[in-house]
Amino acid sequence: MAESPSYFEAYRHILSCLQDINEDDFPFGTIYYYIKRRAKPDLPLYIKENPECKFDLSDLNNIALEDAEQMSCQVDVKKLKEVCVRDDENWPSHETLGFDVSQMRAYQAALREEVCLIQGPPGTGKTYVGLRIVKTILRNRARLGINKPLMVVCYTNHALDQFLEGITEFEPHGIVRIGGRSSSEKLRDFNLSKLRQSASTGKSAIWEYGQVRREMVSTAKKIENSENLVHVAKKGLLKYQILQQFMEFSHRKSLTCLPYLSSSSDPIAFWLGILDEVGECCVDPSNTYQNDVHFSAFKERTEPKRNLKAAINAETISEGEESDISEENKVDSFQTREEDNTATEAFIVLENEEFERRYIDDEDDISDDEFVNTFDCLAMKIPEETIVALPDANNEQLTDESEWVKVRRRNSQKTALFIRHRLAEGNVMNEKEIKRVRDVWHLHSHQRWSLYRHWVQRYNEQIQRKLRDLCDEYNRNATVLSEMRRDEDLQILREKSVIGLTTTGAARNNKLLRLVGPRIIVVEEAAEILEAHVITSLNSYTDHLILIGDHQQLRPNPTVYKLCKDYKLDVSLFERLINNGMPHYRLTLQHRMRPEISQILKLHKDFYPGLRDHESVMRYEDVHGITTNLYFVEHDFPETHVDDSKSRSNIHEAQFLLYLCKYLLKQGYTPNQITILTAYKGQVYSIRQIMEKSTFEGVRVCPVDNFQGEENDIILFSFVRSNLEGSIGFLKVSNRVCVALSRAKKGLYCIGNFSLMSQQSELWATIVTYLRSEGFIGPSLKLVCRNHPERCIEAKTFADFKEAPDGGCKEPCSARLDCGHTCQLKCHPVDREHRKILCQRPCEEKVCSLKHVCPKRCWEDCPKLCPTLIVKMLPCSHEQKVQCYQKPHNVVCRSPCERELACGHGCRELCGLKCTVSCPEVVEKVFTPCGHKAKDVTTILFGNEDDPKARFIQLEDCNHIVEVQGMDRYLKQYKDSHENMIKLPECPWCKTPIRNNQRYKNIIKAIRSDVEKVKIQIKGDTREIRNKLSDLIKRIDKARNVLVTTNRDRRLELTKSTKRKGLGQDTQWRVFFNNLKEKLDKSCFTISLEDLSGMNIILDMYDKLLKINDVKAKILKGIPTKTISDMKEFTQFQEYYGFLKEKIKCFQDTPSDQEIEDWQNEYQRCRHSLSLVRVLSAFKNSDIKRDELEMVNKMAHEVYGLLSDGFPFSKNKE
C-alpha cells in the first residue's frame, strides 16, 4: 500500500488498475509533450475525424444570466444551430449563451481541447458551466459521430449525486448511476441495480442465471459443511465408522475383535481409554494417559481372547523408550494444561518429509472415487454426528440432582477437555512407523494417540482436497455469474447516454468500462481527487477529458501524512498539470458572496486577487438583528482535547455560536438558511451534545472539509484553536481557510483567537489587518433590536444573548391581539402583526347558561358542552357532583343503596346499580339434630355449601366461614396461579391474608419460610448486618468525638480577625450525625446491607472533606488576610467547598451511582481549586519578577476558566 498503513478494499481496485496500465494504450500520452513544449492542447480525436462538424447550441439560448434579459442584439437561431467550434468568429456572443466572459472561454475550450482544465473559484459557477458542457455534448452526439455514453466521475457520492441531479433536468431518461451509496431520491430509478430489475431479459437467460446461482448455493453449503467437519475433528473424537477407511487392514481387524464391547461404546473411544465397555466415561483418562494403566489392563484382558501374535517387534520397545515415557510422566500435567511432549519415543516423532511420500498397503489403498462417495456421504452428515457423544448427565430427565449425577457430569466435562488437549499435541506417527505396528492393542497410550492423530490427519487431508475442488467449482460458477452480470450491465450501459460513478467505482468496474469504451470523461471536483484515482478512470478509448475543480480549495487527503510531506501525494493531477504550465481557464465572476465577504478572498496571493462580483450580490438584504453582515469575534478562552484524540474543541465558541444561531432563528430565518461550520470534528461533537433538538431541528453542523462545493445564506464558523503554545495546526493552510471563508452568501460570523492566528500565520495577519481597518473584528458582536434601534447589546459571551429573550430586547411587547388581550412576550421582531402568535391567557368566554367560564386557553376552541363540575339532585334524591351539561336521569348514582332485601338486610351495591341477588350477611342458625348454634353463610361460594354433609371451617383472621373441600381446592388453585410469586393465601370473601389457621398451618409456614429467604436476599445476612451496623455506629461516634475536639483546638488557633470557620465549627454537622444515629436506632430491624453501604459512602465523603479542610488550614497559615480576601480563586474554592458540605447534608438515603459520581467530580474540582490557591499564594508571597508573575496569572486564568465553565468536571479537564 502506498496510501495507508492498513489495507482497505476501496484501494485494492485502484492499485490493480495501476498495475494493468499499458503505456502504449494509455490515452493522452502527449500530455507530457504539452508540459515540455508549453504547446496548446490538440482537438479531440472525434473532431479531427470529422473536421466539418458543427455544433447545435440553440438549446443554450434560453439559459442565460440576468444580464441576458437586457440584451439589445437579436439572436440568430439558425446561426446557433451551425456553430463551428474551430472558428472563433463563428461563435455567438457570451450573452447569447448565458455566460460571462470567463465562463465563455472555459466553455469554448472544453468543446475543442482534448484535455481541458477549468478552475472555478467559490461561487463562480463551475458546476453551471460543467452542466452546460455536458448538455451541449449530449445534444450533438449524432453530429459528432459518438455512439458511446459520456462518463461523469466524482470523488464522493455526494458530489456525484449533485452533478447527476443537474443532468436530469435536460436528460431525464438516459442516465445510469453505478454504485449503491446514493442518498438522492431523485436518482433512485437511475441506479444500475434498479435498471437491472426492469431490464427485459430472456427466459432462457433467466433460467441459466438461476441455475448457476442454485449451484453456487449448493456448493457453498458443501464448503461450509466440510469446514465444519474439519473443525469438529479438532474438538471431539471421530467415530470408528468415519476413520476405518483411513486405517491399515491389520489395524481395523485388531481394533474390532472385541466381542464383549457394547454397541453404545465406540471401538476407538474404548481403545483410547475414553469410554469403558458399556459406554460410560472412564474415571480419570488423564491418569491413564500419564501412567499407561490402560495398556497393562487391556493387555491382560485381550490376550487370552484374541490369541494374536505380538503386535510390535521386540526391538521396537526398548529401555530407552520406557525411560522416555517415565520422563514424560514428570512433565505432562493435564490439570495445568501443559502440552510438552518433546520427549516422546523416537519412532513416534513426526517427520515432515514423510507427508509427501506416504506409503499405503495395496489392501488398504483407498481410491479417489471411493473417497468421493465417502465424502458425499459426509457432506450430508451433521458435523456433530461424526464424533463420539460423551455421556452427559444434563440429558438425564431427573427432577433433582443427586451426587452421582454431579460426579458424572464433572467426569464428562473433564474427559472432553482431556480429548481437546490430546488432539492439540503435535506428534503424529509416520508411515514407516505405522507399518511396524501389527496389533494396536499393544501400544502405549501416547502411541495410540499418535496413531489416532495420523488417521485424523489423513481424514483432514482428503477433506481438504475435496474442499479445494469445491472452491474451484464455486469460483468457476462465480466467474460465469459475473460474466452473465457483466453482459447484462454492458447492454444497459450501451443504451444510455450518461454513466455516473465515483473514482472507486470506475476502478472496480474497469473491465466493464473498457467494453463500453466511453470517449468523453468529465471529472467534477478534480482538484480534490488523488492523481492515481483519475488515471485509473481513463481507458484506451478516451478521446476527451474535461477536469473541473479548484486546486486553491481542498486538496486530496492521503491517510499517511509522510506521503504528503515527502512524496507530494496530496497534489492532484489537476494541480500538477497547472503547476507544469498546462493551459487552464479560471472563472472570475462570482455570484455567491456579498462584497464584504468576497473582499477577503482578494487580499492574498494564495486566494483570488482578480475575482469580481456580479451585480446580483450587491442587492442582498442585510442580516436582521446584527449591525454588520461580516464579523469576527475575538476571545482567549482555551481549547481542550476531545477524548484523548487528535481532534479539539472549544466550549466557549460552541456556546456562543449556538446562542447566536438561536438569536438568528428568532429573527425569522429558517433552520436551513443557517449552517454551523467548525475546523475540527471534535467541535462538531461538542456542539451536537449541547444543542437542543427541538430548537435547532434542521440546522446543519459539520466540519468545513465536508462542506466544499456547498453554500448557505448565513455561516457561523468556529476556528477552535486557542492555546498558550501558539499552535494553530492546519488553520495556517490557505486551502482550508479559502473554503471556510467562501461558503456564506449573506452573512459570515466567525469566532476564534485571531490574535494568536495572526501571530502564527502571514496569511491570517493580512486578513486580520483588513478586518481591523474595516471594523469587522472585535471582542463582542453588536446586536440591535429591530423594533427599538436605539437599544443595542454587546454580545461577548453566550450569557449576553439572554438580554434578547425573544429576539429583540427586554421591553414588553404589550401589543393588542385580536382577542383583546395584550401580547405577553418580550419585544420580538418576527410576526409583528401577531397573526401566528397564540394568546396564552385564560379564556373568558361563557360556555353555558349558568355563565361558567371556559377552562381552556384563549387561543383554543371553547368546548361545546360545559365541563364544569356542579352539584345536582338525581332522581333517586341523592346529590352528586356531575359535569354541567349532564342530565340528572343519565347519571349513575354513586351513593350507597338504601333499599332492603327480602331477607331484611340492606343492599351492598351502589344506588345506580342492580341490587344484591344473594345476601352475604352472616347470621346465627340452629342446626339439627344436635341443636348447637353456629354461623352459617347464606351465599353459595364453592357450590357445596347447601350439601347436608358439607363441613365448614372458620378463618380466624377475618371470621369468615368457608366450606372445607371448596377451600382446599381454592388454595390449590391459588398456589398454581401464584407459582411465580411468594404470597400468603387470602380469604375468598374479603381477600384478607390467612396467617393463623390450624388446618393450613403447613402451607402458611412454608410461605413464611420463603418470605424470610427473600428478605435475606434483599437485605442481606442478619449476622453480617448486625456486625456492620455496630461498626457504623462506632464510626459515627468517633466522627462526633473528632468534631468536638476539632472545634476546641481551632478556636485556640484561629484569630477573630480572620473570621474563617473550620469544618468542626459548623454546628449543623452535629445535627447531621445525630440524625444518622437516630435513623440507625429506629431502623435497626429493617435496615439492609445496601443501606449500610450507602451510609458508609456518606461518611467517606465526610472524611474526604475533613482532609481537604485540614489542607486548607495549613495553606492559610502565615498568609496575610488581605492577600487571601483579594483572591477570586479563594472565593471560588469556598463556593465549591460549601456546595460539597451541603450536598452531604442533603443525603437522606443511599446516594445513587450518579450522585456519587457527581459528588466525586465536584470534589476533584474543589481539590484543584485549592491547589490553585496554594500556587498563587506562594508566588505572590515570593520575590518573583513582574513578567513571570503575569505569565503565572495567565496560566491561572486558564485553569480558573476550566474550573468555572459551568460544566461537570470530567477526567479530560483534570
Mean per-residue pLDDT, 818-833 = 86
DSSP β-ladder status, 589-590 and 612-613: parallel
- Highest mean pLDDT: which range of 798-807, 928-937, 972-981: 798-807
Q: pTM of this prediction?
A: 0.60
CA–CA dist 1000, 590 (Å, integer): 95
Mean per-residue pLDDT, 1084-1095 = 73
CA distances, 223 to each of 229, 473, 569, 1001 (Å): 10, 10, 43, 66
Mean per-residue pLDDT, 52-77 = 61
Report pLDDT for 703: 93
Report pLDDT for 242: 87
Residue 929, preceding bond cis, omega within 30 degrees? yes
For the cut 60, the answer to whether the pLDDT of residue 6 exceeds it is no
308 pLDDT band (50/70/90 cuts)? Answer: very low
The pLDDT tens digits of the residues spanning 340-389 come to 333 333 333 333 333 233 322 333 333 334 333 444 444 445 566 788 87
Contact 808, 826 (CB under 8 A): yes
Residue whose C-alpha cell reads 437542543 in the numeric block:
692
Report pLDDT for 611: 93
Query: At 99, which amino acid appears?
Result: F
775 pLDDT band (50/70/90 cuts)? Answer: very high
Overall residue count recorded for the chain in this entry: 1214
1209 pLDDT band (50/70/90 cuts)? Answer: confident
Query: Which stretches does DSSP call E strand in 625-711?
Result: 630-634, 640-641, 648-649, 674-678, 700-703
CA distances, 1095 to each of 495, 1019, 1073, 1098 (Å): 79, 15, 11, 5
- Highest mean pLDDT: which range of 191-205, 669-683, 1190-1204: 669-683
Q: Given this chain, do its domains 9-174+496-586 and 601-779 carry the same CATH topology? A: yes
The pLDDT tens digits of the residues spanning 830-866 come to 888 888 888 888 998 888 988 899 999 998 889 989 9
- Highest mean pLDDT: which range of 12-16, 325-329, 485-489, 974-978: 485-489
The pLDDT tens digits of the residues spanning 1014-1059 come to 777 666 677 777 777 788 788 777 777 766 555 555 544 444 333 3
Report pLDDT for 241: 85
CA–CA dist 639, 676 (Å, integer): 18
Answer with the residue of higher pLDDT: 1048 or 263: 263
- Highest mean pLDDT: which range of 384-388, 1006-1010, 1069-1073: 1006-1010
Q: Which residues on neighbouring strands pair with residue 896, listed in sequence order?
A: 910
The secondary element (H helix, E strand) that includes residue 751 is strand 744-752
* SS3 state of residue 870: strand
90 pLDDT band (50/70/90 cuts)? Answer: confident
Query: At 57, which amino acid appears?
Result: L
Answer with the residue of higher pLDDT: 73 or 130: 130
Provide the residue ranges of all domains of the chain, joining segments of one domain with +: 9-174+496-586, 221-471, 601-779, 922-1019, 1022-1203
> What value does the mean pLDDT of the chain take?
79
Report pLDDT for 327: 33
> SS3 string of 316-356?
CCCHHHHHHHHHHHHHCCCCCCCCCCCCCCHHHCCCHHHHC
- Highest mean pLDDT: which range of 417-431, 763-777, 1068-1082, 1090-1104: 763-777
DSSP character at residue 849: T
Report pLDDT for 181: 84
CA–CA dist 717, 740 (Å, integer): 8
Mean per-residue pLDDT, 1091-1116 = 81
For the cut 90, the answer to whether the pLDDT of residue 982 exceeds it is no
Q: Which residues on neighbouring strands pair with residue 812, listed in sequence order?
A: 826
978 pLDDT band (50/70/90 cuts)? Answer: low
Answer with the residue of higher pLDDT: 324 or 800: 800
Q: What's the sign of the alpha-carbon dihedral 177, 182, 186, 189? A: positive
Q: Work out the percent of the chain whose per-residue pLDDT is above 90.
A: 28
The pLDDT tens digits of the residues spanning 502-557 come to 988 898 898 899 899 999 999 999 999 998 889 888 888 899 999 999 999 988 88
441 pLDDT band (50/70/90 cuts)? Answer: confident
Contact 797, 660 (CB under 8 A): no
CA–CA dist 1202, 432 (Å, integer): 78
Nine-digit cell string for 690: 449541547
- Cα–Cα nearest to 527, from 497, 494, 555, 487: 555
Report pLDDT for 516: 93
CATH for 9-174+496-586 is 3.40.50.300
Q: Which residues on neighbouring strands pair with residue 749, listed in sequence order?
A: 631, 716
- Cα–Cα nearest to 434, from 364, 494, 495, 382: 364
In degrees rounded to 5, what are phi and psi of residue 937? -105, 130
Q: What's the sign of the alpha-carbon dihedral 587, 675, 159, 550? A: positive
Mean per-residue pLDDT, 25-29 = 71
For the cut 50, the answer to whether the pLDDT of residue 797 exceeds it is yes
Contact 1060, 1106 (CB under 8 A): no
The pLDDT tens digits of the residues spanning 176-221 come to 999 888 888 899 999 998 888 877 666 677 788 888 889 999 999 9
Report pLDDT for 307: 36
For the cut 60, the answer to whether the pLDDT of residue 2 exceeds it is no
269 pLDDT band (50/70/90 cuts)? Answer: confident
For the cut 90, the answer to whether the pLDDT of residue 105 exceeds it is yes
Biggest CA–CA distance in the chain, Å, is 137
Report pLDDT for 1057: 37
For the cut 60, the answer to whether the pLDDT of residue 670 exceeds it is yes
For the cut 90, the answer to whether the pLDDT of residue 294 exceeds it is no
CA–CA dist 974, 671 (Å, integer): 62
The pLDDT tens digits of the residues spanning 466-491 come to 999 999 999 999 989 888 888 889 99
- Cα–Cα nearest to 740, from 600, 561, 559: 600
Mean per-residue pLDDT, 497-502 = 94
CA–CA dist 894, 876 (Å, integer): 11
The pLDDT tens digits of the residues spanning 241-256 come to 888 888 888 888 888 8
Mean per-residue pLDDT, 1064-1090 = 68
Query: Which stretches does DSSP call E strand in 13-73?
Result: none
Answer with the residue of higher pLDDT: 1063 or 13: 13
DSSP letter string, 813-842: --PBPTTSPBP-SB--SS-TT-SSPPP-SB
Q: In sequence order, what are the residues at sequence separation of 6 or more whose Cβ sits closer than 8 angstroms to the Cβ of residue 836?
A: none
- Cα–Cα nearest to 331, from 346, 318, 317, 342: 342
Report pLDDT for 310: 36
Report pLDDT for 544: 93
The pLDDT tens digits of the residues spanning 682-727 come to 999 999 999 998 899 999 999 998 898 899 999 999 999 999 888 9
For the cut 90, the answer to whether the pLDDT of residue 18 exceeds it is no
Residue 556, preceding bond cis, omega within 30 degrees? no
Q: Which residues on neighbouring strands pair with residue 674, listed in sequence order?
A: 714
Nine-digit cell string for 603: 487580499
Instruction: Give per-residue burial for 291-313: e unless 16+ CB within 10 Å, then b.
Output: ebebbeebeeebeeeeebeebbe
Q: Per the CATH hierarchy, to which homologous superfamily does domain 601-779 belong?
A: P-loop containing nucleotide triphosphate hydrolases (3.40.50.300)
